[in-house]
Chains A and B, each alone.
Chain A
């Protein structure tokens, strides 16, 4: 029952928020609503930490499995389980949601009740995606997640929010409905009665023709979500127009669903197609790395810069996945976590600046170091984590990825590695323009430094960046058996 509890705790919190908020849009209850929402997300986080503690790191199997018949006529069950890959994504989701909620305390004043409701409902859907072992259940969470995100962007976003929200939902849906058909086709390809159970379907060996089409449908859905070049165009709009909390969750967790989906579903379910298409996906990933980095470099808007940097960073993750060896995949999974923490942190910082100045243009800032030294210190540490400085979390992930990918695609990896350098260029350049030099804009002279609430957001983020950089084995060891098992599945050993 532990996994169900974790998944539905936020939803219970969301309903509690509705009760606490009273009738209509009641500004007096704002404080209560915020506390209730934060408390429920913290309880969820504590539950995910307990899960980590209780998790057996030596096992490659799914743990805490729950399985009940749901639609027995169609072989659909309520089947949850967690392994070394999904475990940390759950913890990451649990970690980022309270921070995202905290980040909204300054920026969101319009109908806080509804905002908190959608944030918590979103958390349930995200957690559900990571623990579903039934394709129908997975799709249900996958699609249900779009609704709260759509509202978060559309109601609480910036100027072009409606455009961004509609683009986000239509783009993602268009990809995922084809996956729905592939899921149905796959379930009926199961000999005998149809089955949507992932563990059953892993055992299938489909003919090439089916694998090909199904893989393409799955890969398209996930490629849009990642987003892989050239399916990335929804991302800058959604990230930039979303409120800070939405951007944190989008970059921190939602993008990981694409890479998670590739690793959990698309690759092991259709191994022949995966091996065939992996080099092509790797090429797209490398194009994305370089393209994202180059576009990020010329952005005048900090938020847009960070958004494009996500395209580049996620390209690195996909490159690691496409290596289909232990180093590459392990690095990719680790980098998913790192990117969640560091990019989430960057969006929080950008949010803090724009809460203060109501602009995100780099040219509006300059010399912040003298005005708000603590904020800049946190900014610096997170920037360093994001560009993979040795000693920070990003380094471990990127190093493993490049090592793994070099075995498979030496030339591609060489090109992809430039992305690591480019990321240092655009991030540090932005950092320099915002924080160093003289205070050129008089409006920046009186910017307040970190408040207590912002300390509470920055300390865990920065601490985690450093902790994951110095103690990676704590994370890598529980992943290893599960990753080895997935790679075995893809390469057909033990099938």
Chain B
């Protein structure tokens, strides 16, 4: 039994996904069924299992390792997943999404993400990447009637497949050089002996694969289209969960296995980080569609996270984990609100749709403001501590220019977050769109996200400690 221990959270999620599929199969046409419940049970189970596995450092089959790092990511994923399930229950029927497929694919995606965070073998990382990517490609195009959705999914799929090939090629080089795909064996082989061209090729190709998944500039082209074309609740899910999982593997591969080659990859990733921060912030200013705007915002946030990878002292590494959590709750909250206000006829994703939201829905407007200000990095919200932590790491490592660019782009990004706030509070709604009612569970989920945002912003000590502890387990 012990051999399976590390995979238990993943297995639980897979089981719940299968349950969701079966439920759809036996459901009579038109029968209402609470399929989200399976997801909730599975994710809560995975959350509990992850907590039990904490500090056990279980390894299964030599390729999956449930160290605290993986478990921390698992917990982020479970929180994201649970909130997504709650929102979905409101949205799926209204948007006429096929319920069974939707829930099953979301849960399979989460299982892939968990595997990706826990994998300690390059090939298993690749497998996990494909599991999650395929599920997310389909989710993006789930609205079959929507031309934009189909275009987004196709674009995402083509570019994604391309980057997967890069990634696989990188693995092949690493294998050719070291004779193994196990991360620890690759690390020892890379550390001994002089740096070879093959090693650099492997690093570069792996970096391209990861940069694509975390949507770093210049590999970000798919992001705005995919985020805009996908159903909003899927956008909320993939902008947070996919990013967390991809960064988990990115950190594990680059900061432990490839750390000996830091001298080679730090300059490249620094340049990518700068381009990503500037690109995300500047292009975000130009958008009038909230989903596109938040897509560019998520690109900018990927830039800050890359800054964390570049500033890889122990503080920088823990900063990434904390930032992922802070970003996840705020971004999921913001996009969740967009999703909850949308209907099949009216997606409620244009900037002007938010005009006067404060008048008709003061509570939602307040929540949205908190999430946006947190994304913008204002105290006393989580985003402030997250940014502070990343910039502190960068300054500590002597990357002053990166830190200066980081803070200045964060001011630029505040501008577009405030555009939404201006719309909600300072513009009257001439023709208010019909906004659907938000159910109690969804309100509670949003309230939870808000509380988490404040908790992480005011009393972050505990979580910072956990982040620091868990990052230490991968070295």
Contacts and interface: CB of A to CB of B under 8 A. Distances in A.
Contacts of A70: 461
A188 B379 contact: no
Contacts of A73: 461, 464-465, 468
Contacts of A174: 408, 411
B325 interface: no
B314 to A, nearest CB: 10
Interface string A72-101: 111000000000000000000000000000
A222 interface: no
Interface residues of A, number: 35
A154 B425 contact: yes
Interface string B341-358: 000000000000000000
A180 B414 contact: no
Interface stretch (A29-37, A138-146, A271-279, A410-418): A138-146
B351 to A, nearest CB: 13
B418 A181 contact: no
Contacts of B468: 73
A372 interface: no
A173 B414 contact: yes
Contacts of A140: 379-380, 384
Given A151-B425, A169-B414, A184 B465 contact: no
A49 interface: no
Given A143-B378, A155-B425, A184 B461 contact: no
A360 B404 CA distance: 42
Given A73-B461, A73-B464, A140-B380, A180 B391 contact: yes
A476 interface: no
A71 B395 contact: no
A284 interface: no
Q: Give the interface size class of chain B.
A: 20 to 34
B464 to A, nearest CB: 6
A143 B384 contact: yes
A315 to B, nearest CB: 26
A178 B422 CA distance: 25
Given A143-B378, A178-B404, A188-B396, A173 B464 contact: no
Nearest to B418: A166
B6 to A, nearest CB: 29
A143 B410 CA distance: 13
B144 interface: no
Contacts of A139: 379
B27 interface: no
A24 interface: yes
Nearest to A177: B407
A313 interface: no
B395 A144 contact: no
Contact of B392 (A25, A74, A165): A74
A147 B374 CA distance: 12
B415 interface: yes
Interface string A198-236: 000000000000000000000000000000000000000
B422 A185 contact: no
B384 A166 contact: no
A72 B464 CA distance: 11
B464 A71 contact: yes
Contacts of A165: 422, 426
Contact of A181 (B379, B403, B465): B403
Majority SS at the chain A contact face: helix
B116 interface: no
Given A154-B425, A155-B426, A181-B400, A24 B362 contact: yes
Contacts of B204: none
B465 A161 contact: no
Interface string A34-74: 00000000000000000000000000000000000011111
A307 interface: no
Contacts of B154: none
B45 interface: no
A405 interface: no
Given A71-B460, A173-B411, A181-B400, A161 B426 contact: yes
A144 B378 contact: yes
A143 B373 CA distance: 11
Please indicate which of the listed interface residues B396, B425, B426 has the most CB atoms of chain A within 10 Å of its own CB.
B426
Contacts of A144: 378-380
Given A73-B461, A73-B465, A166 B411 contact: no
Interface in B418-447: 418, 422, 425-426
A181 B426 contact: no
A74 B285 CA distance: 34
A370 interface: no
Nearest to A145: B379
A188 B426 CA distance: 41
A181 B362 contact: no
Interface string A129-173: 000000010011101101100110011000001100110011001
Interface string B226-248: 00000000000000000000000
Nearest to B427: A162
Given A71-B460, A188-B396, A166 B380 contact: no
B388 interface: yes
B94 interface: no
A170 B395 contact: no
Nearest to A151: B425
A147 B415 contact: no
Interface string A1-44: 00000000000000000000000110000000000000000000
Contact of A162 (B400, B411, B422): B422
Contacts of B395: 181, 184-185, 188
A151 B426 CA distance: 9
Nearest to A182: B395
A169 B418 contact: yes
Contacts of B465: 73
A154 B426 contact: yes
Given A24-B362, A73-B461, A181 B425 contact: no
B422 A166 contact: yes
B407 A178 contact: yes
Given A71-B464, A73-B468, A143-B378, A181 B411 contact: no
A140 B396 CA distance: 20
B391 A181 contact: yes
Nearest to B414: A173
Contacts of A25: 359, 362
B345 to A, nearest CB: 27
B384 A170 contact: no
Contact of B414 (A24, A155, A170): A170
Nearest to A137: B379
B271 to A, nearest CB: 20
Contacts of B379: 139-141, 143-144
A166 B407 contact: no
Contacts of B404: 178, 181
Contact of B391 (A24, A170, A184): A184
Given A177-B411, A181-B400, A72 B461 contact: yes
Given A166-B418, A184-B392, A147 B378 contact: yes
Nearest to B396: A188
B388 A180 contact: yes
A78 to B, nearest CB: 11
Interface string A104-140: 0000000000000000000000000000000010011
9 contacts: A73-B464, A144-B378, A144-B379, A144-B380, A154-B425, A165-B422, A174-B408, A181-B400, A185-B400
Given A73-B465, A73-B468, A178-B407, 17 more contacts: A24-B362, A73-B464, A139-B379, A143-B378, A143-B379, A144-B378, A144-B379, A147-B378, A154-B425, A162-B422, A162-B426, A166-B422, A181-B391, A184-B391, A184-B403, A188-B392, A188-B395
Interface of A: 24-25, 70-74, 136, 139-141, 143-144, 146-147, 150-151, 154-155, 161-162, 165-166, 169-170, 173-174, 177-178, 180-181, 184-185, 187-188
Please give me the 4 A-B residue pairs with the lowest Cβ-Cβ distance, nearest first: A177-B407, A140-B379, A184-B395, A184-B392
